[in-house]
Structure 1
Amino acid sequence: MAEWEDGFWSSKDGLRLHYRDYPAKAGSTRPPIICLPGLTRNARDFAPLADRLAGDWRLIVVELRGRGDSERAKDPLSYVPVTYLEDVTALIAEAGLDRFVLFGTSLGGILSMLISATMPGRVAGLLLNDIGPAIDPAGLVRIRGYVGRGGSYPTWLHAARSLAEVHAVAYPDYTLDDWLGMAKRLYRLTPAGRIVADYDSAIAEPFKVPGNESAGDLWPLAEALKPIPALLVRGGLSDIVSAGTADRMQAELPLLERVDLPRIGHAPTLFEPECEAAIDRLLARVGRAG
């Protein structure tokens, strides 16, 4: 397991936010990789990736407000992309990062596209994990159906079985060990000995506000992505990124490589063998670009 240091920074509205900082070897001149998790995810979601890449690369694994060890928001309606963007922009400024690579899963990928558009010339490489400028409405309906529901479990096995009931369609080949691994990435043990989701259930509140039913049209962001070496990882069973959206991304983004993973839905783990090979190719391109 790769070692990391805990880092903290402050949001504009005074929250103490957390990230894991996996260092590179002394003297490395490679740009750091900023990892941005999905809606209900936390820093542990990127732990297998960090175990493989840390040392060769510095990884800064962000926990968005209300997730993991980041403080929960006082205003639940601040759980929206524009506020997350402000938070991550503040981290980039505070850490003094000039150029960086962005790895974004789902919501983290939306933020990665927004950062690429608002910080032109500073993104050295981009990985979009099962996300694109258009989001399938069916996937949003599914996500709204489970996010924020809460609940607790007496054992990790119970938590794993609950995940399997909700997400089996996305991972039809998962074994019990796979579900246990996911549970330990997504849940935490409370002092009372219960297993609970490691995020503030209030992140669901903005979905209830009229007009927040979708992320909107993000295709205008595509122009800013054109000069960036990029990788789209798409689950072959994804209900978030359609094959048509992936086709259009390939047509409009000349530096984009696309990898479709069969029999996986939303979202791939990034430690599938095909994924690891594609990530290595992306980082090789980043290295050649300087």
Structure 2
Amino acid sequence: MSNSEGFSDFFYSAPDGLKLHARVYGDANSGHWPVVCLPGLTRNARDFHELALHLSSRVQAPRKVVAFDYRGRGQSAYDADISHYNVGVEAADILAGLAALEIEAAAFIGTSRGGLIIHVLGMMQPAILKAIVFNDIGPVIEVAGLAHIKSYLERTPTPRTFAEAVAAQRSVHGQDFSALTDADWARMVRALNRETNQGLLPDFDPKLVDTVASLDLTQPLPALWAQFDALAAIPLLTIRGANSRLLSTDTLRQMQEHHSMMETIIVEGQGHAPFLETGDLPDAIAAFLDRAERQYI
């Protein structure tokens, strides 16, 4: 049963027994494809709250929406073995959660790392993917963008107040996100952090930073073109922040060449990764899912 905020908490066991969490929005029997939301590296299910409410409450084509917390994030348990914080293990965790929810196939929305996990799911269990929305991610990750992420994660401050937390985020990301309003920044901080006796703290296992710190950024990261090509028959929408440092315009062009039916949206005034609840994005995503679903009828 949904709470007053429009979702219910769902806990399940990973293949290795770790207790994991997801939020579930909407009616399981709406007759339309469910939607699975996968967040970025250090983010959690709260990133999708407004979008999930929109997709699950539409009068026409309401959808069940499942937003996952990966292991070590949000309400999912932390893993004592940080080597398990990788996209392969996390993809298996998502499949376990969907099996527990009895979801055999869905449309997937992946922000950043979530999109990488979708690439892996396409190799592990391709039939589960009905449609895909990539939020500022593709088969090539720009080293400069990853270096930026590594830099701010390693220098994450411990704000004493909510206002300080907002100011810290604007200091790091403000140049890339000129389109955001005060309300957008406040919502970002609430999604990213949890309240503790020590003040606001990022809502993820601090050891996640170690997995990024160990990357050799002097060398290009392996590209995932083979995995991307395996998605060629699946309806695809790719959203790119106009100021993104992680998904380049050249990679986006090559993605279009590999997947001729791919739709694209460029979000002005935002970087990595665009806030999916802002502007016309909720309606655009909903319309894409409707079009993709009609192709199967």
Q: Same fold (TM over 0.5)?
A: yes
- 2:32 aligned with 1:30, yes or no? yes
Shift of 1:193: 5.5
Given candidates 15, 18, 22, the residue that maps to 2:21 is 18
**CA distance in structure 1 between the partners assigned to 2:195 and 2:170 by the alignment:** 19
Equivalent of 2:212, from 203, 207, 210? 207
Structure 2 residue 7 is matched with structure 1 residue 7: no
Confirm or deny: 8 A CA contact 2:82 2:208 kept in the other structure: yes
Hey, what's the Cα distance between the residues in 2 that align with 1:173 and 1:101? 28
Structure 1: 5+ residue stretches without partners: none
Contact (CA 8 Å) 2:143, 2:221: kept in 1 or not? no
TM-score normalised according to structure 1 size: 0.93
* Structure 2 unpaired stretches of 5+: none
Q: Deviations over 1:84-127 (max 9, x none)?
A: 11211221222222111100000001111211232123211100
Deviations 1:3-34 (A, max 9, x none): 1111011122321000001122x642212111
Matching residue of 1:138: 144
Distance 1:243 1:188, change over 3 A: same
Query: Following the alignment from structure 1 to structure 2, what is the Cα–Cα distance between the partners of residues 240 and 227?
Result: 25
Question: What is aligned with 2:48?
Answer: 46
Contact 1:125 1:283 (8 Å CA) reproduced:
yes
Q: For the Cα contact (< 8 Å) 2:157–2:168, is it kept in 1?
A: no
Q: Which moved more, 1:144-153 or 1:242-251?
A: 144-153
Alpha-carbon distance between aligned partners in 1 of 2:191 and 2:215, rounded to the nearest angstrom: 32
Matches for 1:157-196 after TM superposition, within 5 Å: 157-190=163-196, 192=197, 194-196=199-201
Post-superposition shift, 1:50? 1.2
Residue number in structure 2 paired with 1:96? 102
SS in 2 for 1:87: helix
What percentage of residue pairs aligned between the two structures are identical?
33
Amino acid at match of 1:233: I
2:190 and 2:200 map into 1 onto residues whose CA distance is 9
Q: Give, in angstroms, the shift of residue 210 of structure 1.
A: 5.6
Moved more, 263-272 or 167-176: 167-176
Pair 1:236–1:210, CA change in 2 (3 A): closer
Report Cα offsets for 1:50-78 as digits up to 9, x if no partner. 12111410001000011110001111121
Instruction: Give yes or no for contact 2:150–2:213 (8 Å, CA) kept in 1.
Output: no
Corresponding residue for 2:244?
A: 238
Question: How many pairs are equivalent?
Answer: 288
Change (3 A) 1:257 1:179: same
How big is each residue's C-alpha offset from its partner over 1:245-270, in whole Å with a ceiling of 9 and x where there is no partner? 10111111133100111121001011
Per the TM alignment, residue 176 of structure 1 is displaced from its structure 2 partner at its CA by 3.2
Aligned to 1:71: 77
In structure 2, the residue matched to 1:217 is 223
For residue 214 of structure 1, report the CA deviation from its aligned partner. 6.3
Q: Is the 8 A contact 2:192 2:203 kept in 1?
A: yes
Are the structure 2 counterparts of residues 215 and 83 from structure 1 closer, same or farther at C-alpha, using a change threshold of 3 Å? farther
Residue aligning to 1:107: 113
Conserved 8 A contact 2:54-2:282: no
**Distance in structure 2 (CA, Å) of the matches to 1:126 and 1:181:** 25
Give the distance between the partners of 1:142 and 1:34, measured in 2 at CA.
27
